[in-house]
Structure 1
Amino acid sequence: MSFAGEASPPARSAARILARGLLLPAVAGAATVVGFAPFYWWPVTVVALAVLFRVWDTSGSPLQAALSGFAFGLGMFLAGVSWVFVSMHVYGAMPVALAAVATFLFCAYLAIFPALAGWLALRIARDATCRRLAAIPAAFVAFEWLRGVLFTGFPWLTLGASQTPSSPLAGFAPLLGGYGVSLAAALVAAILAALVASAPWSRGRHALLAGLATLLIVGGVLKAVPFTEPVGKPVSVALLQGNVAQHLKWRDEVRTKTFTDYARMAQEARAQIVVLPETALPAFFDRLPPRYLDGLRDHAREAGKDILLGTVERKFEGEKYQYFNSLVKIGRAGPDESYRKRHLVPFGEFIPWGFDWVLKVLKIPLTDFGRGDARQAPITAAGVAIGVAICYEDIFGSEVIDHLPRAQLLLNVTNDAWFGESFAAEQHLQASQLRALEAGRWMLRSTNTGVTAAIDERGYVVAKLPQFTSGTLLTEAVPREGLTPYARMGDLAVLFIVAALLVAAFLKGFHKR
């Protein structure tokens, strides 16, 4: 017998399953974003992940775990990556409804990866301990890595970035890279989830606490290890931030002011190296006014500076021009040097095969860039070798270390004006902080609207400019040499560990059968 308006037992059970299996993971997924910049509350991300892992551990089937993983991913990416709506609607002129649908579908695609992780973990692991402490964290990191490489990759909001730079777990970055930090954080989350399920004062609980303490202590000790060392004297660097609105950048009436402002800022900067952000000058490099370029060259020679220009190069091949998103050095002596962007942004700098129709909707200029060579030498400025990453190339740790060991400094030039006043620019800064940790090098950032910053080899921001202001950031960067373990091995080491954990969980489960 039930009273009017009271839910029947099956209804209550369905509501409980819905709340626990879908709503709770979705809320936890959204909460993970608080661990990333601009908040940097790294424990929140670990605890939120522990909630997901606990839900997976109590799921009745791989399908249930997949649905919970999808809900978690959808909450996480809708909260943390929905700035793509700004790019498509505000600056790409896509109709608001279509941009909203496209943003949702993109976030839903990203949510597939944690969904597959949950399915795999429960599919291969029958033993409870192996499922909790091996299969679940390893599967999560395996599919996070896959998200970073599939279809050119999108490793934005990787778990390891959330721990940068303050968490003790960030100490694993120079050893195992960003995915190694992700694995350490996932293991901590798995231990927290297992602690919830363990009996108080049991031997297993003590072992879990010992494992938790070991991960945090080892990570903290690794943060104090100097994997690289300073070489030579600090070099003075001026990082320019022009703050040119994206929707005005290419207009004729704005171009003259942009040229004038950047020339003035470069000439006023008292530094050995002056850096302009990505595509700072709104013209092809070969079409820059001759007097303008000659004036910068003459100033560089007289003042003893090297000026690095974010620009677009082009060369005529066959019957058409090939365009390159480039950083060109004009300096005190010798020929110009350039770095051409290698990792292009889908739909922003190139249109994937079969998606030509997107051009009829998006109004983004220059979507047919060419790729720079896979291996390019660092640019030399003020006698220092500089490894360059343009735009979001610095979210790919395995590509940034290609510049090592020659590069003594790292440099990112970018234009995050595409994302408006969202979290994207700060999240991008945090990715640069992780790259500095992985490589044991200073990372310098020159951006159009922010965040322009100098980051030391420990991943900490030494100085930065406020967003959406025009200014010059002066800093004394310390060149460094030597290779971190991650710079030597790349992602191979952490992928081996992840594979070993998955195999161990499978074999244990196989014997259980």
Structure 2
Amino acid sequence: MTLAHRLGSRAVFALPAGALAALGHAPFGLWPVSLAGFAWLALIVSRSARPVSAGWLGGLGYFATALHWIVQPFLIDVARHGWMAPFALILLAGGLGLLWAAAAWVATRTRPRALGWVAALSLAELARGYILTGFPWALPAYVWADTPLRLASAWVGPFGLTALTLFATALPAATRRPLSGTALGALILAAAFAAGWTRFDLVPDPRGTVRIVQPNAPQDEKWDPDRARIYVDRAIRLSGEHGAPDLIVWPESAIPWPLDMAGPILEAAADAAGQASLVTGINRRTPDGLWFNSLVLLDGEGELADTYDKVHLVPFGEYIPLRIDLLRSMAGFSGFGFTPGEAVRLVDTPLGTALPLICYEAIFPRHGWDAGRPDYLLQITNDAWFGTFSGPYQHLDQARFRAAEQGLPLIRAANTGISAVIDATGRVTASLPLGTDGHLDAAMPRPLPPTIYARTGDRPTGLILLLTLAVLIVAGRRNAIANRASSS
């Protein structure tokens, strides 16, 4: 057996193939390496005598590499939670890898197996965005975040672009002539690249000014009673610096006291803002003891004009699924953490209607579909939980995809960075770097007309993938029948 045959058929090589496939994500951005990894993995799954093992190992390598930032929240308080860090990474990567193993098992029932792998894996990634509240972080489509190919998501969404990416990279394994398959895959991606490029010319001129405040409060200090006021005062000072913005935006939990105790701070913030409205993140509690992770809007008179409560909470970080007592200490507060808000809805601001996205909510393409079309997306986040290597950059890339998918600009205020203004094509027009404090005043980009994806959502992609998989399964059964007939 030649080395090339071993590399393309042994299940064990799926582990490094999956790891290579993840290198297209931030902070590496090595999308050509990622394409090679996906192509190698498709070859292994299609040829291996143990395709299910190959699928799981590929998923393990992919998610362990892409999601290694998941250990960072456990390192904020090492004494209490540090021991959980390696288990969290292994369990998360291994658990998500089971979806890839299931896709490989389905692919064994299809012909050609490489295309069955594409259809089944694309459906598995779609399911990952929905089941058990969903966790669509590090979708294969996101390797295109820094290229015009991200704009294909305006037509097919991130799950459709994931399917297109996997299809293009699997063609060498699916065809009898690998070079021809490679050329065809490259042609498909080049066409999508060119189509996406045309959307840059459609962006209208900006209108209005937004100020984003980045206080850069370390996670281990922002809730410390002896240190917290330092960063709140910094945010107030930055808000009052020279300029005339229409809207000032502070990040998630910028005020580390509950809303009912934060009156003097809100008054000081409103005074600093002058005539500008101000948005900030703050926790809210009710008389019956419920806690909410909230966004509040102060109008130009300093009055509380609106409140939005986060709907999509972080499992094990903001609430404990099924109330698992062993993990209660990881929730945001004593008891069982935060309560989800009642519904996603729009907030009226001086720059138009905004769809609020509090931190984790920005990773969900479907967030806010029922709320109506806003003028822009407004994300407030505290990415100090994610460390400084990959998590904050990947989170930003997902925000860029939300803008490109919907054809909407996005304002992003992050406690420690990366704060940014993003136009309706997902292009960053202004930003503050990670790990710095400061503010930026930027022109507010304007929206594009609703995209195809904004009107249709994920249903067309899901339906096409199901029909494709059904056809490939029928072809697989016919092939099996023909093989049995020829051998008898």
Q: 1:217 to 1:363 in 2, by over 3 A?
A: closer
- Structure 2 residue runs without a partner (length 5+): 482-488
Give the AA of the match of 1:143.
Answer: A
What is the aligned partner in structure 2 of residue 151 from structure 1? 132
Please report how far the alpha carbon of residue 391 of structure 1 lies from its aligned counterpart in structure 2 after TM superposition. Answer: 0.7
1:380 is matched with: 348
Report the Cα distance in structure 2 between the residues aligned to 1:331 and 1:199, rounded to whole angstroms: 61
What is residue 316 of structure 2 aligned with on the other side?
347
One-letter amino acid of the counterpart of residue 284, structure 1: P
Would the alpha carbon gap of residues 18 and 152 (structure 1) be closer, same or farther in structure 2, given more than 3 Å must change? same
User: In 2, distance between residues paired with 1:39 and 1:461?
Assistant: 18
Letter of the structure 2 residue corresponding to residue 100 of structure 1: P
Deviations 1:414-459 (A, max 9, x none): 1111122231000101101111110111112100111111111111
Cα distance in 2 for partners of 1:287, 1:274 equals: 22
Name the structure 1 match of 2:307. 338
Which letter maps to 2:64? Answer: L
Report Cα offsets for 1:110-154 as digits up to 9, x if no partner. 1111111111111x21x33xx333x12111111011122121111
TM-score under structure 2 length normalisation:
0.91
Q: Residues 109-188 of structure 1 correspond to what in structure 2 (within 5 A)?
A: 109-122=95-108, 124-125=109-110, 127-128=111-112, 131-133=113-115, 135-168=116-149, 170-188=150-168
1:272-351 matches, within 5 Å, as 272-288=246-262, 290-300=263-273, 303-316=274-287, 320-333=288-301, 336-351=305-320
Does residue 463 (structure 1) correspond to residue 424 (structure 2)? The answer is no
Report if the CA contact (8 A) 1:311-1:328 is conserved: yes
Q: Does 1:391 align with 2:359?
A: yes
Q: How many pairs were matched up?
A: 476
2:279–2:295 CA contact under 8 A, matched in 1: yes
Output the amino acid matched with 1:141. Answer: S
User: Deviation per CA, 1:39-58, whole angstroms, max 9, x where unpaired?
Assistant: 22222222211111001111
1:226 to partner: Cα distance: 7.0
Percent of aligned pairs sharing the same letter: 28
Q: Which amino acid aligns with 1:304?
A: Q
Q: Distance in 1 between matches of 2:97 and 2:375?
A: 37
Q: Give the Cα–Cα distance (whole angstroms) in 2 for the partners of residues 24 and 114 of structure 1.
A: 15
Contact 1:278–1:447 (8 Å) recurs in 2: yes
Distance 1:354 1:274, change over 3 A: closer
- 1:446 equivalenced with 2:399 (yes/no): no
CA RMSD of aligned residues (A): 2.5
Cα distance, 1:297 vs structure 2: 3.0
90-99 or 414-423: which moved more?
90-99
What is the aligned partner in structure 1 of residue 32 from structure 2? 43
Taking a change above 3 Å as real, the CA distance of residues 86 and 17 of structure 1, as seen in their structure-2 partners, is same
User: Using the alignment, how far apart are the partners of 2:344 and 2:29 within structure 1?
Assistant: 34
- Equivalent residue runs for 1:484-503 within 5 Å: 484-503=451-470
What residue number does 2:486 align with? none
Instruction: Letter of the 1:251 partner, please give it.
Output: D
Secondary structure of 1:336's aligned partner: strand
Alignment of 1:42-81 (within 5 A): 42-60=31-49, 64-81=50-67
Q: Which residue identity does 1:456 align to in structure 2?
A: D
Counterpart in the other structure of 1:9: none
Name the residue aligned to 1:23. 12
Other structure's SS at 1:345 match = coil
TM-superposed deviation, 1:32: 2.0
Distance 1:148 1:93 in 2: 33
Correspondence 1:198-237 to 2 at 5 A:
198=177, 205=180, 209-210=183-184, 212-225=186-199, 230=204, 234-237=207-210
Cα pair 2:9 2:45 within 8 Å, conserved: no
Relative to structure 1, is the Cα distance of residues 382 and 242 closer, same or farther in structure 2, using a 3 angstrom cutoff? same
Rate the CA distance shift 1:413–1:212 in 2: closer, same or farther, 3 A.
same
Aligned: 1:505 with 2:472: yes
- Matches of 2:157 and 2:178, distance apart in 1: 35
Matched-pair contact (CA < 8 Å) for 1:22–1:67 = yes
Change beyond 3 A, Cα 1:349–1:219: same
Work out the CA distance in 1 between the residues paired with 2:238 and 2:257: 18
Over 3 Å counting, the alpha-carbon distance change for 1:245 and 1:215 in structure 2 is: closer
Residue aligning to 1:83: 69
Aligned counterparts of 2:18 and 2:182: Cα–Cα separation in 1: 24
Q: Look up the SS of the partner of 1:425 in the other structure.
A: helix
Structure 1 counterpart of 2:169? 189
The 1-side partners of 2:187 and 2:403 are apart by 26
What's 2:382 paired with?
A: 415
TM-score by length of 1: 0.86
Residue 8 of structure 1: aligned partner? none
**C-alpha distance in 2 between matches for 1:214 and 1:107:** 30
Structure 1 contact 351–368 (Cα < 8 Å) conserved: yes
Unpaired segments ≥5 residues, structure 1: 1-11
Greater shift in the superposed pair: 85-94 or 21-30: 85-94
* CA drift at 1:23: 3.4
Following superposition, the deviation at residue 345 of structure 1 comes to 0.3
SS in 2 for 1:397: coil
Residue identity matched to 1:384: G
Q: Distance in 2 between matches of 1:208 and 1:82?
A: 31
The SS at the match of 1:252 is coil
Measured after TM superposition, the shift of residue 182 of structure 1 is: 0.3
Where do residues 253-264 of structure 1 align in structure 2 (5 Å cutoff)? 253-264=226-237
